[in-house]
Chains A and B, each alone.
Chain A
Amino acid sequence: MDAVLTAFGEVLQPQVFFIIVAASAYGLMIGSIPGLTATMGTALLVPITFFLDPIPAIGAIVAATTMAIFAGDIPGALLRIPGTPASAAYTDESYRMREKGQVELALGVNMLCSTIGGLVGVAVLILAAPQIAAVSLGFSSYEYFWLALLGLSCAIFVSSSSPVKGVLSLCIGLMLSTIGIDVVMGVKRFTFGDTELIGGVSIIPVLIGMFAITEILRKVARPSRLPAPPPVRLGAMVSGVGSTIWRFKGGVVRSSLLGSVIGALPGAGADIAAWIAYALSKKFSRSPEKFGTGYPEGIVSASSANNAALSGAYVPSLVFGIPGDTITAILIGVLLMKGITPGPMVFVMDTGLVNAIFAVFIIANLLMLPLGLAAVYGSRRLLSIPQDVLFPIILLFCVIGAFAANNTLFDVWVMLVVGLIAFVLEENDFPLAPMILALILGQLVEENFMKSIIKADGQLTEFFARPIGGTLGVLTLAIWALLIGMSLYRATRARRAETTGE
């Protein structure tokens, strides 16, 4: 109990709390402006967290992303444009509610369900993470190697594009992580004689390039004017919300738990959780025929799930250092910059930090209620900011942000080059999530692989000799077999379609 109080005391210090509130406001802004995703918002936040202590830095990221995932629902209900991809699953449904004159109810349900989902996710995190950490204290390099590989394979498995492109994206990330001094012998690799690259590719410019520059390029090419949002009566956002959610309480619980689990899977984040929760609630619903006509049941489920997924993603990130989604991949990057290596040892050595993260999550989810109301109130102004003004300023922010971490213009070049390459890759259906996961995990994979293979003296059977390591290994190989099988199946089906079509 003392530890809990200390954690809350630490987070509620005026300075830290101010940063959390400021980050929340920022997150609400990012989330409610269409085109600015939670991941992009986090990437832009990183240069600033660089100057903060670990707890406020993590607090800022947690608060900003929690708010952003909820705020993505606001333009969804008002304009039928999801603010972040995580709201896309039920944008149509909440817009139908607006057409029925229930826009306030839709937003109120979004807000309260986001809070409930978020809190359930935190509860799962608080209960599960230390238990898993305790088990994983006995892990050796074999287990870590397989676990990291399993995480990366999972990221490819859940991405919607072709597995071949996912693997290639993964390879780029792994190769980027090998640049610099190698972990085994301290040899310089792929530095092209450049002193700036000896320390490796810095993570901040890569993140900004991948998630912000790509989006700026798309938005600048295709400027869009948002339609005017309708007026919202705040009073109506509160009344009737409780009874609606109570009616679908089963869905809230199911979707929150489901969301936490999906969030914990590496590579699958809030957006996938929302789609699956929406589909499942339709399947289990007593009146599935009402879905798509402005019926709140799907919204209740999906908006609980996406916020739960956000917290769920922290389970593997904190326990193993294996990110559950792109946002936690960035968070791990930030922790590493602060000299904290996430892993089971953090739960033993740095319980203060772990408890503070839990506290931040709880506070951020509770803050969502008052700040969310304010955001809905202010959304008319926010949504009237013209996009063609916004993106040049964000570009300037990116340039300074990339420069600020190491005060070198070299990082600005890294940002630009990575951004342009990522843009071309995304245009060609290469998923970016495996790349960022691989870049963060690359060193962990290589280090544990080299340790293992040197220990095993090249005997690959040693990789399967320990019970947990072996199980993880078999699981990884099974996913690979599935991936290869799926690719071959797709290829033969395409060929068959071709021959019958001709």
Chain B
Amino acid sequence: MNNEPKKPAEKVIEIENLHVAFGDNEVLKGVDLSLYRGENLVVLGRSGTGKSVLIKVLVGLLKPDTGRVVVLGQDVVASDTTELDKLRLKVGFSFQNSALYDSMTVRENLEFPLVRNVRNLSRAEINRAVEEALDDVGLKQAINQVPSELSGGQRKRIGIARTLMLKPEIMLYDEPTAGLDPITCTDINNLINDVQERRGASAIIITHDLTCAKEVGDRVAMLFDGQFQREGTFDEVFATDDKRVQQFYHYNFTE
């Protein structure tokens, strides 16, 4: 990665004082967070602490109650649908359960965002893009299969491939390794690192898998009680006596 010339790295995502509540349940209570260009930021936290809510706010799937959210220089909260759609082309969102379109083959899944957003592509160009994306995730042979024929790990990789079709500047991964075996998890971690290195994408990775966090995270932020309580490199975040943080660590690394 050629990040030598930019010393004060450019912020691609800026979140300030973000509040989100569902009825009486306040999930995010004044979150501040920045993502810098080219970095992988891991967001850790217990289930139900609002990690997914956070990235859904970033792409406008959820509206916050208060707070400022700026993605690639664009204020998400103030954007209308057309502006949001423009922004969404530059932000890839990998869903926890992959969210592949069941009624379509893998090829059609991958083509779907491409043919609807990039005009005047020839059949050959579309095919090449699909094959390239599948090659990146190592699943070229699955091109004509339907999602129900794929394993959990394969679905995850196809899901990531689909978001890569539009060559996003920012990737948002929601629990990329949840429910997968350790070997597949390693594959996914490598894939996430690969996307960062080869495509130069910045990423937020939501997880509670510490191996994943350690492998892919340039920086780690820990969400507790609706706010980021700890932030830094992996080792910095866990160098504390805070019981909750320690519990998190010991469950994953028991030695």
A binds B: no
Give me the interface of A with B, judged by CB distance under 8 Å.
Answer: none
Give me the interface of B with A, judged by CB distance under 8 Å.
Answer: none
